[in-house]
Amino acid sequence: MEKEMQHMSIYQVLQGHRHKDRAMHRELIDIEFVNAAGQHLRSGADKARGGAATMALQQLGVSGKLVAGRLNAIMGPSGCGKTTLIKVLSGRMLPAKHVDVVDATRGGLEAGSEAMPRSGLSSLRFRENLDYAACLRMRPGTPGSWRSAVVYAIMKDLELYTRENQVVGSEQRPAISGGERKRVNIGMGVVALPPILFLDEPTSGLDTRMSEEVVRLTWGLARVANMNVICVIHQPSTRAFDMFDFLMLLSHDQRVAYLGPPEACRDYFYFTLKFQKDFQGSDGSNVADAILRITSDTGSNKLSESGIRGEDITLAWLAGGRERLYQTANRSTQEKLE
């Protein structure tokens, strides 16, 4: 049985058990949020100097809806609030009082969500870490055969199977490489197949090929397992970027600069806002690099060909950017925006 499972991907396992497993027929869970901001609780010494909390995001502009069954990517320059946003949405940071985080189908996130663990248990082997996470997070009564099949498939897809008996080790005294540790952490988050999965920079520390495999894995899980996968991605390759279903782009001022299908992102910045110089490169194919250059600009001297300053792109989005995008998009893109 084990020899058979080691040759199966997670998609094959899920498709084979689709008629048996209730999780595959669960209700899709969307997340909608309005004016998202978080609270950083200060220490007692900080409180004595004034103020019990500070806002981690701006009070305006960070609103959106992340739909289940697809891979939702959050991008933006360093310090724009990507990690803070998913901490608020996942419940790991208290939202500010004015924030309304809504589960569009059930009215709350109590249905279950997972965040990628920071580190596996140092004394356990690769497979033992995934087994432990599966036992801990899968619903009670899950058959052992199903759990083992998922664990084996995840190890295969993350290329961990040949080293399943390798001890992880601590971060201070590691027994594995940084890339292997990252993949173990991803596996521990994915193995329970939660309705909502938050991944904070899952590709950091991985080479380009492995990064694309991780993106491909989460893209497939979103569809086959009806998961709402939300990833913070810092600098994806062209192939990884093209696999995103939906993109939320934050700017340096911690507001939304774009929210829509990635395939329409270039046209919006190139034709609508006319930041055409930023797309002039060797082949112009890597849209991710161009939009990160545009959203990273903190000065007022950067102008598009239409006269829009780099610091004003979030205002352009708030002032009807979505409507302009919809008017110029093809029918497929319009359906995704509706």
Mean pLDDT of 105-134: 69
Q: Is the pLDDT of residue 110 over 80?
A: no
Q: Quick one: what percent of the chain has pLDDT higher than 90? A: 33
Mean pLDDT of 317-328: 88
CA within 13 Å, CB half, 251? 24
Q: At what angle do helices 208-224 and 178-190 cross, to 10 degrees?
A: 0
Mean pLDDT of 52-70: 67
Mean pLDDT of 10-17: 81
Selected residue with higher pLDDT from 285 and 330? 330
Query: CA 308 from chain center: how many Å?
Result: 29
Residue 75 neighbours by CB distance under 10 Å: 26
Q: Quick one: what percent of the chain has pLDDT higher than 70? A: 75
Whether the CB-CB separation of 23 and 219 falls below 8 Å is answered with no
Q: What is the pLDDT of residue 57?
A: 47
Mean pLDDT of 6-13: 80
CA 203 – CA 226 distance, rounded (Å):
22
Where would I find the beta strands (DSSP E) of 201-288?
228-232, 246-250, 256-260
Q: What is the pLDDT of residue 88?
A: 82
Mean pLDDT of 175-201: 90
Q: Average the pLDDT over each of 127-141, 159-173, 245-259, 297-311 and give the range with the smallest value.
A: 297-311
What is the pTM for the complete model shown? 0.84
Mean pLDDT of 82-111: 62
Q: What is the mean pLDDT of the chain?
A: 80
Strand order from edge to edge, sheet including 228-232:
113-115, 196-200, 228-232, 71-75, 246-250, 256-260
Tokens of 153: 């498939």
Q: Is the pLDDT of residue 240 over 90?
A: yes
Residue 204 neighbours by CB distance under 10 Å: 14
CA 190 – CA 221 distance, rounded (Å):
9
Q: Is the pLDDT of residue 111 over 50?
A: no
